[in-house]
């Protein structure tokens, strides 16, 4: 099985369309979505409509999906995120709001190889920022390859009997990593709609379970158009600016 893995789309239609076009010739049979479809970006309904039409093999909610659909209050959000998520809630059609509210929480087992979560397998809202977080997440995962989102940083860690290390130190993209038997892996495919690792290009990944390979990609998309949409909708200017910085 070959999966397309996407996360943290954040209502960025320009980035989403570019990623899907780039992924089209890659021969993926199924899609895995790691949450945060909405929040920050200008097109929450268009993204919900498209992801619903995709009928992903596995789809879990992110923290912005919970708040954007009214499942949780925006109290924990900073001022900018809060103002964007209130706007998102108002924009969402009743049907899309209901659909988002009903999305399952992670973690979710996909198959013998893969488990997905938004933040970590032990807490859907926790962030993997450092090595200790990564180790904790790996030890709580029930499958050899755990895919996560939430940090908007494209990264992959491995854990063998001998060592814990970084699979993604190489800057080259696409970058393919072979998943060795007996090792554990923790990968973030990167954010489609709001990268924060200093590279403004949209991130995504593919996993080939037969070849036991994961490949991470970055693709340029029309950032100026996504920025214009954010400003057009009256969302905070900083949300447009950060797209160009990848921060």
* Minimum separation from the CB atom of position 152 to Zn ion (A): 6
Give the nearer residue to Zn ion in terms of CB position, either 34 or 214.
34
Q: Which of 14, 36, 65, 115 binds Zn ion (CB under 5 A)?
A: 36
Give the nearer residue to Zn ion in terms of CB position, either 3 or 77.
77
| Interacting span for Zn ion (CB under 5 A) from 2-10, 73-81, 132-140, 173-181 | 2-10
| Interacting span for Zn ion (CB under 5 A) from 31-39, 78-86, 155-163, 213-221 | 31-39
Q: Which of 8, 14, 115, 124 binds Zn ion (CB under 5 A)?
A: 8
* Minimum separation from the CB atom of position 172 to Zn ion (A): 25
* Pick from 51, 49, 11, 5: nearest CA to 31: 5
Token pair belonging to 105: 């929480």
Please report, for the chain, how many H helices and E strands are present, in that order.
8, 12
Say if strands 155-159 and 184-188 run parallel, antiparallel, or are unpaired. antiparallel
Give the nearer residue to Zn ion in terms of CB position, either 144 or 246.
246
| Interacting span for Zn ion (CB under 5 A) from 1-9, 79-87, 134-142, 231-239 | 1-9
Token pair belonging to 164: 């814990």
Contact 39, 84 (CB under 8 A): yes
Cα separation, 155 vs 149, in Å, equals 10
Cα separation, 239 vs 114, in Å, equals 33
* Minimum separation from the CB atom of position 155 to Zn ion (A): 15
* Pick from 153, 94, 87, 85: nearest CA to 119: 153
Token pair belonging to 137: 């997440």
* Minimum separation from the CB atom of position 39 to Zn ion (A): 7
Establish if 197 lies at the interface with Zn ion (CB under 5 A): no
Residue ranges that bind Zn ion, judged by CB under 5 A: 8, 36
């Amino acid at each position: 099985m070959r999966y397309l893995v996407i996360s943290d789309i954040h209502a960025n239609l320009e980035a989403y369309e570019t990623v899907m076009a780039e992924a089209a010739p890659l021969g993926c049979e199924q899609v895995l979505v790691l949450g945060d479809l909405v929040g920050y970006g200008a097109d929450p309904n268009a993204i919900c409509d498209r992801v619903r039409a995709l009928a992903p093999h596995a789809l879990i909610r992110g923290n912005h999906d919970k708040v954007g659909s009214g499942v949780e209050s925006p109290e924990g959000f900073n001022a900018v995120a809060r103002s964007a998520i209130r706007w998102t809630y108002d924009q969402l059609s009743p049907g899309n709001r209901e659909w988002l509210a009903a999305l399952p929480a992670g973690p979710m087992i996909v198959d013998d190889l893969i488990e997905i979560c938004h933040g970590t397998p032990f807490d859907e809202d926790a962030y993997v920022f450092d090595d200790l977080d990564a180790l904790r997440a790996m030890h709580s995962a029930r499958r050899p390859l755990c895919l996560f989102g939430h940090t908007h940083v494209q990264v992959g860690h491995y854990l063998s009997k001998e060592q814990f290390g970084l699979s993604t130190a190489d800057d080259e993209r696409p970058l393919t990593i072979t998943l060795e038997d007996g090792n554990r892996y923790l990968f973030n495919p990167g954010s489609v709609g709001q990268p924060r690792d200093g590279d403004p290009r949209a991130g995504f990944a593919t996993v080939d379970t037969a070849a036991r390979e994961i490949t991470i990609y970055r693709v340029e998309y029309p950032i100026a158009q996504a920025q214009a949409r954010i400003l057009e909708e009256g969302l905070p200017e900083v949300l447009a600016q950060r797209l160009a910085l990848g921060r």
